[in-house]
Amino acid sequence: MTSISTQDTHQASAQFWDRAARKYAASKISNMDAYEKTLDHPRAYLSPTDTVLEIGCGTGSTALLLAPNVARYTASDISGKMVEIGREKAAAAGVGNITNIQGVLGDAALSTGPFDTVLAFNLLHLIRDPGAEARKAHAVLKPGGMFISKSACMSGWRRGLQPIIGIMQLLGKAPFVGFTSVKKLESMISDAGFEIVESFNPSGSPMGRFIAARKL
């Protein structure tokens, strides 16, 4: 029963993001300077010999900016349409060390590691069990590898946002959104076998929590 439920959840999520892919790709990043500055944090943990796996890569915008800093970059997403757009963008930009793959952690397609770093930007709050995702990231990392995430921790906004998001979900206009606190998210990552190295809110991102964690 559990495997069927998980499969159904993945299928629903893939369908939602497939429908949203082209509109998502056409949308502009509201503050490009702040976005690029935020990427300085994960970039500080990368080296030219690294192999990196990004989960929930969307249309690959982050991959294009970080891939030049590493040897090999695997950009993955649950949505085939998102991956297709990411592949187009990488080809147009001439970035040759990105491999775009449709899949989620636990799939054979993403078990090609071990990786030096797993990245998860704006993803963990869209997953029903972030702790399980952290454990799967742990499994594909090298000893001492880094799990780096940026997540919306919205437990304090639950009362105001949850009813609105619930209505949007019924209309097919929003995906699953979790309302996890910073403390809870840090605990789930630590319990998955990581040491928290850094945890803070980047400038201009009151709900976006950047967490860098090292595999123990």
Output the tens digit of pLDDT for each of the chain's 216 residues: 344 456 657 787 888 888 878 888 888 777 777 788 889 999 999 999 999 999 999 999 999 999 999 999 999 999 999 999 999 999 999 999 999 999 999 999 898 889 999 999 999 999 999 999 999 999 999 999 999 999 988 776 656 677 777 777 777 777 888 888 999 999 999 999 999 999 999 876 667 899 999 999
DSSP letter for 55, please. Answer: E
Looking at the structure of the chain, the number of domains it has is 1
Q: Tell me if the bond preceding 114 is cis, omega within 30° of 0.
A: yes
Q: Rounded CA gap, 174 and 166, in Å?
A: 8
**DSSP SS3 for 38:** helix
Q: Which domain holds residue 175?
A: 2-215
Output the domain CATH number for residue 162: 3.40.50.150
